[in-house]
Amino acid sequence: MLSPNDASERCEALLARAKLAGAEAGDAVYMANGSQSVTVRLGALEDVERSESEHIGLRVFAGGGSASIGSTDLGDAALDELAQRAVAMARLAPPDRFAGLADAELLLRDAAPALDLDDGGEAEPQALRDMAHAVEAAAMAVAGVTNSNGGSASSGRSVFALATSNGFTGAYAASSHGFSASVVAGEGSTMQRDYAYRSVRHAADLPGTDLIGREAGERAVRRLNPGKMRSGAMPVVFDPRVGASLVGHLIGAISGSSIARRSSFLLDKAGAQLFDSGVTIQENPHILRGLRSRPFDGEGLPTTPRALIDAGRLTGWLMDCAAARQLDLAPTGHAGRGGSGAPHVSTANIALANGSVTPTALIADIAEGVYITELIGSGVNGVTGDYSRGASGYRISNGVIGEAVAEFAIAGNLIDMFAALVPANDLELLNGIDVPTLRIDGMTVAGD
């Protein structure tokens, strides 16, 4: 794996070769990852993995067309061939008036923000094994846990670099550390499984293995002996672990590419009041040590904090340069990159802001409802907003969360669901998308 500086140099060297081969413009990306993980099961070592990958990609524009190509060989001869092939492909490609680099005046020119994403360390295999043992042991110590799917610990590091022919070069490194446990409670046909995990940028930010292990065990035991839900319309409350998926559907619907293709249920909703005025959804790419923090996007544009939903109102679309040109709007710094191919929309750290009530108060007036802890399947129509997913969780009766329930489905339409959404005040910033406990009244539950 190259250092960020060396990765930038390789990208610039590849662009210089593309220019000599006849490219009119282009950009180059370098992506590398190295990781290792250890898994134990029932106290015995089950798996040790180490993976390393390194890739350089080139996108060129020539003769009105564009082409992308990539290689895992970073040698000079390989870069020569890569550049020549890319330019030859671009000259044969059909013209695309929306494709192209970001305008030079939009590129990040100031020093990139220091986001402290890399702790510079890599855990030793024995340390990972000790963590995997500890997190599984903590889960297995919970009364009622009878078996294990395993405890795991991992550590890794990545480097990303980007150079464009119109003046941008940038690179950064990021580390990752985490552990998880998945265990089974009960016996025979009554068995139930659940899990818990934590992932951070710096190893020093990891919580105790006993905390995560105990959470996995307690979640599994609490799911034992599930009952059935009756069918009907009722309030549905989403645990933060699954409620984040609702924000994921919003992000997909406000992607500029979806709007340009006219394939979003939020088409023509720019500036519309989608949520209650008490709901705000913020994106902050500059959180120190954030799991999705980044100093610039995949086209070299600066990243900036912004509200996706401000007091319930949609502030606009998320756009890379191609989508922005299609919609005759400005790009928003949301371009992501793979090893090859055109940019695509991606987001940074997203959080739905706290509401004004505790989770207990949020459900206090629910005579009959359901608290969702797991969603199953992917029955969401991104064009119409129709929503239907299998679920499991706990019955809410007279304002109290009670017995486990399973084998039912919840349904609605995302536009109606967004309008009815009410957040509690228990937000924790743990993942790339975070939400507090969420309540949505009037959803359809299909049970017995």
CB 170 within 8 A of CB 113: no
- Residues 181 and 198 sit within 8 Å (Cβ to Cβ): no
**Residue 121's pLDDT band (cuts 50, 70, 90):** confident
Percent of the chain with pLDDT over 70: 100
CATH no. of 4-221: 3.30.2290.10
In this structure, are strands 232-238 and 368-376 parallel, antiparallel, or unpaired?
A: parallel
> How many angstroms separate the Cα of 221 from the Cα of each of 187, 189, 226, 391, 422?
11, 14, 11, 17, 29
Helices then strands, counting H and E runs in the chain, come out as 9, 19
Segment 44-50 long-range contacts (CB within 8 Å, at least 24 positions apart): 45/129, 46/150, 48/125
Model pLDDT for residues 122-132, shown as the tens digit of each residue: 889 999 999 99
What 3 state SS string does 24-90 have? Answer: CEEEEEEEEEEEEEEEEECCEEEEEEEEEEEEEEEEEEECCEEEEEEECCCCHHHHHHHHHHHHHHH
Give mean pLDDT, residues 112-133. 93
Domain boundaries, the chain: 4-221, 226-448
pLDDT score at 342: 87
75 CB-side CA count, 13 A: 3
The CA distance from 319 to 309, in Å, is 16
**Per-residue pLDDT tens for 311-332?**
999 999 999 999 999 999 999 9
- The predicted pLDDT at position 189 comes to 83
Q: What is the pLDDT of residues 47-69, one digit of tens each?
A: 999 999 999 999 999 988 999 99
Q: What secondary structure letter does DSSP report for 273? A: B
